[in-house]
Structure 1
Amino acid sequence: MAPSTSTPHPNRPLTGHPAPPARPPGSGRHVLAVVVGVQLAISIGFFAVMAHLVTYLRHDLGLLAGTIAVVLGVRVALQNMLFLPAGAITDAVGAARAGALACALRAAGFAVLGVIDGPAGLLGAAAVLAVGGALFHPAAQSLLAGVPPARRARGFAAYVVAGQVGAVAGPPVGLALLAGGFGLLSAAAAGAWAVGAVLFLLLPAERGAAARAGARLTGGVSAVLRDRDFRRFAMTAAPATLLADQIVTVVPLKEVGAGSTTLFFCVVAVAMAAVQPWCAAGGRGERPWVLRSGLVCAGLGYLALLAMPSGEGGHLVVLLVAAVLHGLAQGLMQSALFQTVTRCAPSGRFGVYFGLLSFVAGVAALTGGFVVGRLFDAGGGAAAMAPAGLALVAVLSAAFLRLPAASREHDGP
């Protein structure tokens, strides 16, 4: 990333926009159209399958619950473990090529899911999906980070909205395709990812990427690990992913019913999408208080779930309040984290900086998710400690958060 004229204080709002880490291939408008279009297509395909995968594995294939948990857990754990090396690979080969490879791997993984019926094959498919996911996110966001600043914030907002549209539209689309069998559903998802690979390949490769590949791959990881300010930021911001992920566990375990749970997640998606234009206007996502506000909203959302009264009418009102708070939290946190990585990563290093943040956040999410699950298994007062503990984590993260200064390094033209 080209430096700004002065390094801003890490705890003050930014007054300018540093240059992007590396200009993406093609025009900014073209890149945004490709990335947002791919995000919409693959999100619908992903959620169409994942919403019905557990039912398919349990009832159609007859797998035990423990086996299903292992298959799903391998994908999540491996993807989190690979974020850092995947980010370095993205910087080395170029974001467009990494995005095409990511989509191709996920297309293969979903295609295999539709024809494999044994645990070994399912684990292999989960591993392929994990590698593809670890490559896709740094690749797509590297392309967004490289567009001109005037379009970058709006482009990321459109990217987030497209993902939420896919999260809402995917399950009913999957239900319709499931009438033709899970094989048809998985083939459709594979097709969506294959289209994404083709669209990424239509973007010209970054100039000079091949010549710089070796240096970026060998030096990228060591460079980000030497950045003490960013390492500290990654540690204090890591709970953001845990706070976003655990509503998927906490809300169903509150036993509010399938209808109320579905309504909750729809409201979360709507609130998350609705706050994006506000984050994009004037580059608000770059300001330190935006990330803190997102963390505080998440904490308040868990406190609302903790205080949720019994009774259909009472719990529905509080559930909707909690859903709005969690939607705002996720929208604010995603925008702020993207803008922070864009500001801090040196030129050509967005992928590896994003990878380190995602890796640390993934470790926190996996560890925290295990603790939350054990608390709910214990029942009684221990179960009530889960949302209370998550709220405390949110407050502590907001209190200790300190955004790093903008990068002053260049990789050259």
Structure 2
Amino acid sequence: MTVAAPASAPVPADPAPGPSGRRVVVTVVAIQLAACLGFFAVTAHLVAHLRHDLGLAAGTVGLVLGVRVGLQFGLLLPVGAVTDLLGARTTGVLSCVLRALGFVILGSAGSVGGLLCASVALAMGGALYNPSVHSLLAAVGPDGRSGGFAGYVVAQHVATIAGPPMGLLLLATGPGFALLTGTAAALWTVAGVLFLLLPRSARKRVPAGGRAVLAGVRTVLGDRVFLYFTLLTAPTTLLAGHIMTAVPLLGFAPAAATLSFSVLAMVAAAVQPFVAAGRRGERPWVLRLGLTCAAAAFFVLAALDGGQPGPLLLAAVLNGVANGLIQPAVFQRTARHAPRERFGSYYGVLEGCSGMFAFAGDLVVGRLFDLGQAGAAGAMLGVGLFALLAALGTFRVE
């Protein structure tokens, strides 16, 4: 028995993007470039800072990182519907304010309590940011949506390539990590200003009221086809982001880790236009292949017993292909299936479940790394197995 994919649900045809739609796409791409440049400049070196500068155990590092991921995506359950209520423009500005504040706190924190406060602020900002930009792109019509999302993801990957080296340069200065986080806060402030430049049409989407928020969540929870798709894609957040945690914990030097992240981003950016063309992301094989490549990447990492650069770069290439296929596939299927006025609600439930999975995974993986080489290998095998099971699950999707 197969289950109809979200991409196949009948929805009214969307109009082609006009001048306002093109303005939204260009502005969102610029927002993404500024925000991600700040984010990846810090996160590429955060594990090393927590582990070596502050002397935290791997399990504690996993807790700090897991709180941000778990809270951020857990909040998406209600925040996605709130985005439908307030509008993407308003929630986007709020997200940038919170993210900037979180990076400032992160740069000055010297205790676990301070780090957790920074994680909470970063999580709240991230929970508001993701549904706002995705809602803006989903509203511009199918043709503009595909091209806009391609530009959005390419901007993310450009920032992934440029961010880590920029972080290394900033770390080499006197202030070090504090200057790095301050620069990230400034870039998120720029992103907030860009949100204010969006047209007024990017404001409210549904009538105001608390019942509207609850109604949005209830609509999604009553959609069994989409809930199956949500379960299927639950591991994707862990698969996309965990390599940036795993590589430093596996003992690779900052230069090798930075190179692997840059290779990953370049490969993903090269794959992305192919998926966007002709809306290929709506086809089941795209998601299946992406999940299979992600599984293979973590299986390669599990086999490492030292700092071999060759297998590390192979894992980076596989993970890059996976990200280039999975991200547009999930977005295009969700945007095709969800009613335009409820996209935030659908996206919130989808990403909320994926984030909670990532939160649990980060906690477990961090503990396993504390057990030594065998624990680290088991952690990577476990992550890869989840990806493989999800790939097998796509055969039930038409």
TM-score (norm 2): 0.86
Describe the SS at the equivalent of 1:10: coil
Task: Describe how 1:286-325 pairs up with structure 2 within 5 A.
Answer: 286-307=282-303, 315-325=308-318
Equivalent residue number for residue 379 of structure 2: 386
Distance 1:404 1:219, change over 3 A: farther
For residue 228 of structure 1, report the CA deviation from its aligned partner. 1.3
CA distance, structure 1, for counterparts of residue 51 and residue 380 of structure 2: 29
Are 2:58 and 1:48 aligned?
A: no
Of 243, 247, 253, 1:247 maps to: 243
Equivalent residue number for residue 180 of structure 2: 185
For residue 24 of structure 1, report the CA deviation from its aligned partner. 9.5
Are 2:189 and 1:194 aligned?
A: yes
Q: Please list every run of 5 or more consecutive structure 1 residues that lacks an aligned counterpart in the other structure.
A: 1-8, 406-413
Deviations, residues 277-319 of structure 1 (Å, cap 9, x unaligned): 10111111111110011011112222333445x787xx44333
Equivalent residue number for residue 363 of structure 2: 370
Task: Describe how 1:4-403 pairs up with structure 2 within 5 A.
Answer: 10=4, 19=13, 27-53=20-46, 64-65=56-57, 70-115=63-108, 119-178=112-171, 179=173, 181=175, 182-206=177-201, 209=204, 212-214=207-209, 215-255=211-251, 257-307=253-303, 315-379=308-372, 381=374, 383-401=376-394
Deviations, residues 36-70 of structure 1 (Å, cap 9, x unaligned): 1011111111222334445656777x575476654
Distance 1:247 1:54, change over 3 A: closer
Describe the SS at the equivalent of 1:394: helix
CA distance, structure 2, for counterparts of residue 234 and residue 255 of structure 1: 34
Moved more, 362-371 or 23-32: 23-32
CA distance, structure 2, for counterparts of residue 117 and residue 261 of structure 1: 24
* Mapped contact 1:26–1:203 kept (Cα < 8 A): no
* Mapped contact 2:7–2:333 kept (Cα < 8 A): no
CA distance, structure 2, for counterparts of residue 54 and residue 298 of structure 1: 22
* Mapped contact 1:372–1:386 kept (Cα < 8 A): yes
Equivalent residue number for residue 6 of structure 1: none
For residue 344 of structure 1, report the CA deviation from its aligned partner. 1.4
Q: Which has the higher helix share?
A: 2
Describe the SS at the equivalent of 1:76: helix
Work out the number of aligned pairs and report it: 392
TM-score (norm 1): 0.83
Q: Please list every run of 5 or more consecutive structure 2 residues that lacks an aligned counterpart in the other structure.
A: none
For residue 369 of structure 1, report the CA deviation from its aligned partner. 3.0
For residue 251 of structure 1, report the CA deviation from its aligned partner. 3.4
Describe the SS at the equivalent of 1:102: helix
CA RMSD of aligned residues (A): 3.2
Describe the SS at the equivalent of 1:186: helix
